[in-house]
Structure 1
Amino acid sequence: MKYRLLFLYLSLTLLLSAPAVHADQASPAIENLDQLVQTALANNPELKSSSARWEMYRSRIRQAGALEDPMLMLKIQNGVVTDPVNFKRDGMTQKVVGISQLIPFAGKRQLKEDIAAAEAETYRWSVEERKLELARMVREAYYQVYFVDKSLGIIDKNIRILDDFITLAQTKYSVGQGAQQDIYKALLERSKMLDMKISLEQQRRSLEVNLNSLLNRPQTTKVGAITDFKLAPFTYTPEQLLDIAEENRPQLKTIKAQIEKGRVGHLLAQKESYPDFNVSFEYMQRDKAMGSDGSDMYSLGVTFNLPIQKERRAAMRAESSSEVNMASEELSGARNTISSGINDLLAQLERRKKLIDLYTTGIIPQAEQSLESAVIGYRVNKVDFLTLLDNRVTLFNYEREYYDSMADYQMKLAQLEALVGKELR
């Protein structure tokens, strides 16, 4: 029976050590969060598409305020039907060259430019909003990888602890002081650790795929190790964060640009009650005929539309007013969402910070002492093996929760930065 247990122990050790050696050989360099964010902002195809859309709308500004092309006119006037190509038969037959230009009422062109500029601004700030979102997603993936790596490290440490437990249980069993069941329990716990390690390795690969997609780099690219960090002091109040969001959040600037677009659109709708002008000039060349000296002639004129379609123009004004009202309400809703999000995230950050301090100064040191005491007690037969395993599981869970709190704190901070539109580190 002892040989069977030894064989099982050695088999599990080999199964565990093989992938660990492979992972060590394939480990890439240490990752830098700021570099990852900059890579994502430079390479992400969705962001490039949004930037191209903004450039497209920027190009429409000059188009919106430009004059229409002038119209060139060429015609034969007062030709004789019975002799259509004879220009000397009648003194009134004329070869006419004319040009005309449509000129909008004063101020309309500038208002059209302002509308196009406001619309381009909405897309500009949409690009900036997408940058914030992309940076947040990269940071979240980064700290998720950090937590998985720390969990894998804790599992490796616990497997070594269980190896010591197995050796200790086998030694006690060999001298008749321990139960064979203790060895089986330790081996089972070791198998559970191995099962958890396999799941975490798969989870890390999934996180690598997600991060590589955000950075637009090959899916086979390995994400390197992530160094430990300390929490920076955080002193912002909700009121300060609201002011920062009002000044920096692209979403609010997008909505403000929509309000401006509606406001200028309303001014243009009011201008539509004034006519546009068409200025024309014609030069008429004549030949001598029927006693006429054939003097050339010209024509200069101005035509304009009569803005009498009141219903259409009233509908234009109503549309622009509705656009302003809609965007104003949307702005109020966005501010409320940001305010509630700030307060919620601050509460979560405070909770995580308190947990981190508690784990660091109290729970984990106490759990380590409890485990050490249980090991000593088991060696002298004052503590049973189940108590020993229970202390080990307790320490394992608290260590994972500590790193979970560390990673989650940083992810919540990334969410808060995206919410207010500014880095707060």
Structure 2
Amino acid sequence: MKYRLFPLYLLLSILMTAPAVHAEEAKPAPESLDQLVQTALSGNPELKSSSARWEMYKSRIKQAGALEDPMVMFKLQNMIVTDPLSFNKDSMTQKVVGISQQIPFAGKRKLKEDIAAAEAESYRWSVEERKLELTRMVREAYYQVYFTDKSLGIIDKNIKILDDFITLAQTKYSVGQGAQQDIYKALLERSKMLDMKISLEQQRRSLEVSLNSLLNRPQSTKLGAIPDFKLAPFAYTPEQLLDVAEENRPQLKSVKAQIEKGRAGHLLAQKESYPDFNVSFEYMQRQKAMGSDGSDMYSLGVTFNLPIQKERRAAMRAESNSEVNMAREELNGARNTISSGINDLLAQMERRRKLIELYTTGIIPQAEQSLESAVIGYRVNKVDFLTLLDNRVTLFNYEREYYDSMADYQMKLAQLEALVGKDLSSPPVAKQDGNAGAEAVQHAVPHQAHQAQ
């Protein structure tokens, strides 16, 4: 009875160690976040597509302001029906060559060019917005992988601790001081850890697939380990971040370009009340006939349209006004979204920063001491095995929450940088109150729980 659990324990040990040995055969190098971001910005297909769209609209600027091609005309004029190939029977028979050019009213070409330039500018900032979004997605995936790796490390550590608990429970049971149920409980907790490890390994692979897609890398590319990091000081106030967003956020600049496009369109609609011109020149070659000396002739003329369709032009002005109003309200909406996002993200970052400090300086050291005390108490039969396991689970959860807070703080920072359109690693230029900033919280890896001897 005492030894019938050993085959089960041996089988679990083999299942646990075999994949670990295989995984260590080819370990990729540690990853650099900056390199991953640069790879994404240089190779992402969607970003390349957006850049090509911008280049397409840039090419439309010169097209919009260019003159229409001139029209060349050749004709035979006043030919005699009874002798269609004769040029000297009538003095009015002529061979005519002419050229004409459409010329818009002064200022229209420039306004059309301004409209195309503003539209291209809007797409230019859309490309920059896509870069921000792509950078945010890479950084979020990076820190999600970091949390997953740390969770896997904590699970491996806890499996070793549970192995010591199993050995300790078996030893006490063999001398009649422990219950067989304690061994089953420890084996069950170990199986739960293995179940969680399988899920986390799947999550890491899914994150790896997502990151490879963002980077346009083969899906077989393995992602290396994520190095530990520190939380940098952060001293920006909401007001400063709003100013940063107003100055740097591509989305706002894109909407402002749409406003400029609408304004130029309104001016063009007003110009439509003035006529466009068509200047033409014709040269007529004649031959001597009917006493005429056959002198050549020319004609020079100007034609223009009559802008009398008032309703159509009024509708054009109304359309451009609506476009400006629409873009203005879109700009106000974007500013409101940015403002609320800044305050929400700052609140979440502050919460995570405080939790990290609490876990580092209080909760995790206290949980480690509680577990160590429980191990000692279990050895001398002053603490039951359920209390021992409960202390181990508590420490396990707090360690995971610590790394979850570390990763989530960095992900919220990535979201905030995408929101304001700027890297916030450097301190703000203007001075702020002492309460506005927070000192750096150094990343301190929690001490491993003492393993049962």
Superposed counterparts of 1:52-91, under 5 Å:
52-91=52-91
Q: Give secondary structure in 2 for the equivalent of 1:303.
A: strand
Which range moves more in the overlay, 14-23 or 94-103? 14-23
Corresponding position of 2:27: 27
Cα distance between partner residues in 2 of 1:127 and 1:382: 66
Would you say 1:371 and 2:371 are equivalent positions? yes
Superposed counterparts of 1:93-112, under 5 Å:
93-112=93-112
Q: Give secondary structure in 1 for the equivalent of 2:102.
A: strand
Corresponding position of 1:153: 153
Cα distance between partner residues in 1 of 2:220 and 2:93: 82
Report how far residue 26 of structure 1 moved: 2.9
Cα distance between partner residues in 2 of 1:401 and 1:52: 44
Cα distance between partner residues in 2 of 1:2 and 1:244: 69
Cα distance between partner residues in 1 of 2:307 and 2:384: 97
Q: Give secondary structure in 2 for the equivalent of 1:219.
A: coil
Q: Which letter does structure 1 place at the counterpart of 2:65? A: G
- Residue by residue over 1:81-135, the C-alpha shift from the partner in whole angstroms, topping out at 9 and shown as x without a partner, is 1111111111110000000001111100000000000000111011110100000
Q: Give secondary structure in 2 for the equivalent of 1:96.
A: strand
Corresponding position of 1:237: 237
Cα distance between partner residues in 1 of 2:224 and 2:143: 12
Q: Give secondary structure in 2 for the equivalent of 1:3.
A: coil
Corresponding position of 1:394: 394
Superposed counterparts of 1:329-348, under 5 Å:
329-348=329-348
Cα distance between partner residues in 2 of 1:169 and 1:3: 12
Superposed counterparts of 1:35-50, under 5 Å:
35-50=35-50
Q: Give secondary structure in 2 for the equivalent of 1:25.
A: coil
Would you say 1:285 and 2:275 are equivalent positions? no
Cα distance between partner residues in 2 of 1:26 and 1:338: 44
Cα distance between partner residues in 1 of 2:22 and 2:288: 103
Corresponding position of 1:416: 416
Cα distance between partner residues in 1 of 2:271 and 2:264: 11
Q: Give secondary structure in 2 for the equivalent of 1:4.
A: coil
Q: Give secondary structure in 2 for the equivalent of 1:98.
A: strand
TM-score, structure 1 length as denominator?
0.99
Superposition misfits of 4+ residues, deviation over 3 angstroms:
none
Higher helix share: 1
Report how far residue 187 of structure 1 moved: 0.5
Q: Which letter does structure 2 place at the counterpart of 1:14? A: I
Cα distance between partner residues in 2 of 1:420 and 1:174: 65
Report how far residue 2 of structure 1 moved: 2.9
Cα distance between partner residues in 2 of 1:405 and 1:2: 44
* Contact 2:2–2:173 (Cα < 8 Å) also in 1: no
- Residue by residue over 1:306-353, the C-alpha shift from the partner in whole angstroms, topping out at 9 and shown as x without a partner, is 111100100000000000001101101110000000000000000000
Cα distance between partner residues in 1 of 2:417 and 2:388: 44
* Contact 2:115–2:261 (Cα < 8 Å) also in 1: yes
Would you say 1:308 and 2:312 are equivalent positions? no
Superposed counterparts of 1:171-250, under 5 Å:
171-250=171-250
Q: Give secondary structure in 1 for the equivalent of 2:3.
A: helix
Cα distance between partner residues in 2 of 1:340 and 1:393: 38
- Residue by residue over 1:151-186, the C-alpha shift from the partner in whole angstroms, topping out at 9 and shown as x without a partner, is 000000000000000000011111111111111100
Q: Which letter does structure 2 place at the counterpart of 1:44? A: N
Corresponding position of 2:448: none
Report how far residue 25 of structure 1 moved: 1.7
Q: Which letter does structure 1 place at the counterpart of 2:5? A: L
* Contact 2:342–2:419 (Cα < 8 Å) also in 1: yes
Report how far residue 18 of structure 1 moved: 1.3
Q: Give secondary structure in 2 for the equivalent of 1:298.
A: strand
Q: Which letter does structure 2 place at the counterpart of 1:38? A: Q
Cα distance between partner residues in 2 of 1:194 and 1:70: 79
Q: Which letter does structure 1 place at the counterpart of 2:334? A: A
Corresponding position of 2:275: 275
What is the count of residue pairs matched by the alignment?
425
Cα distance between partner residues in 2 of 1:140 and 1:303: 64
Report how far residue 200 of structure 1 moved: 0.3
Cα distance between partner residues in 2 of 1:83 and 1:24: 101
Cα distance between partner residues in 1 of 2:23 and 2:62: 57
Q: Which letter does structure 2 place at the counterpart of 1:417? A: E
Q: Give secondary structure in 2 for the equivalent of 1:225.
A: coil
Corresponding position of 2:449: none
Cα distance between partner residues in 2 of 1:119 and 1:81: 56
Corresponding position of 2:359: 359
Cα distance between partner residues in 1 of 2:395 and 2:24: 26
Corresponding position of 1:16: 16
Q: Which letter does structure 2 place at the counterpart of 1:422? A: K
Report how far residue 4 of structure 1 moved: 2.2
Q: Which letter does structure 1 place at the counterpart of 2:148? A: V
Report how far residue 21 of structure 1 moved: 1.5
Q: Which letter does structure 2 place at the counterpart of 1:16? A: M
Q: Which letter does structure 1 place at the counterpart of 2:264? A: V
Cα distance between partner residues in 2 of 1:111 and 1:38: 38
TM-score, structure 2 length as denominator?
0.93
Which range moves more in the overlay, 240-249 or 22-31? 22-31
Cα distance between partner residues in 1 of 2:283 and 2:411: 75
Q: Which letter does structure 2 place at the counterpart of 1:2? A: K
Report how far residue 19 of structure 1 moved: 1.3
Cα distance between partner residues in 1 of 2:396 and 2:19: 22
Superposed counterparts of 1:117-156, under 5 Å:
117-156=117-156
Corresponding position of 2:447: none
Cα distance between partner residues in 1 of 2:320 and 2:4: 84
Corresponding position of 1:165: 165
Cα distance between partner residues in 2 of 1:26 and 1:328: 56
Q: Which ranges in structure 2 are unaligned for 5 or more consecutive residues?
A: 426-453
Corresponding position of 2:434: none
